[in-house]
Amino acid sequence: MTQEGIPAGVLALPVDPDRHVPVPWFVAWVKGKPDFRLADDRRLDAALARELCWVCGHPMGRFRAFNIGPMCAVNRISAEPPSHRGCAVFSALRCPFLANPRAVRRTTGLSAEVRSTMHEPPGIMLRRNPGVALVWVTKRYQVERHPGGVLVHLGDPTEALWFAQGRPATRAEVLCAIASGYPALLDLAEAESPAAVVALEQMRDAAMRWVPA
């Protein structure tokens, strides 16, 4: 990282004239302005095909970092491509939604044209702010393409870095986030089969190994 802990790739990004913050590479621009709620589908394809960082758009090395929530640590699935470790940490510390547990995803103000192009991401999405963000660093992942997006299956982590409110998260905060989100996954597993419940419990136990001490 460079200036005030900001990665060089982030420093090279355009700056939103209204918010005075870097505009991540993946953000879609609507009528000449960035809309931080929208991802550019063309950037998704480019990131996966050319192994580019989801945040800054520059080529990546061996280690890939995913910004995910606690339930994604359980099922090891992300709906977004990876980033540099430094870019992912920067996002976890500075992104309003990731850093602020009270932040919500706004959908108001979107034009009819933009709404017509929006689609539900594949997989299961819990529409909540879990209060903590996780940077999952790994060397391995597999991409599964679906209509409307991708599911990225995450390999074992070399690091699991938890953040809350722009700082490292405490163990209590992480445990609370897991406890509040797990029932939703458990309901789905129970509706599927007893075997699915057993598999989910095993995934939860594996994720617990990466909770901070």
pLDDT at residue 114, as a whole number: 47
Q: Which of 74, 80, 68 is nearest to 184 (CA)?
A: 74
pTM recorded for the entire structure: 0.84
Neighbouring C-alpha atoms within 13 Å toward the C-beta of 110: 17
Residue 10 lies in a domain: no
Residue 98 lies in a domain: yes
Residue 126 lies in a domain: yes
Residue 49 lies in a domain: no
Residue 52 lies in a domain: no
Phi, psi of 100 (to 5 degrees): -110, 110
CA dist 53 → 40, 42, 107 (Å): 14, 14, 26
Phi, psi of 186 (to 5 degrees): -65, -40
Residue 9 lies in a domain: no
pLDDT at residue 122, as a whole number: 56
Residue 201 lies in a domain: yes
Residue 18 lies in a domain: no
Going by their DSSP bridges, the two strands 157-164 and 167-168 should be labelled as antiparallel
The set of residues, in sequence order, having a beta carbon less than 8 Å from that of 148 and lying 6+ positions away, is 119, 120, 121, 122
CA distance 126 to 130: 9
Number of domains, the chain = 1
Tell me the residue range of the domain where 204 lies: 62-208
Secondary structure (3-state) at 102: coil
pLDDT at residue 149, as a whole number: 82
Secondary structure (3-state) at 203: helix
Q: Residue 212: which H helix or E strand, with range? A: none
Taking the chain (213 residues) in consecutive chunks of 10 residues, what is each chunk's mean pLDDT? 76 92 94 90 93 97 94 94 96 81 51 48 62 95 88 96 95 96 95 97 96 93
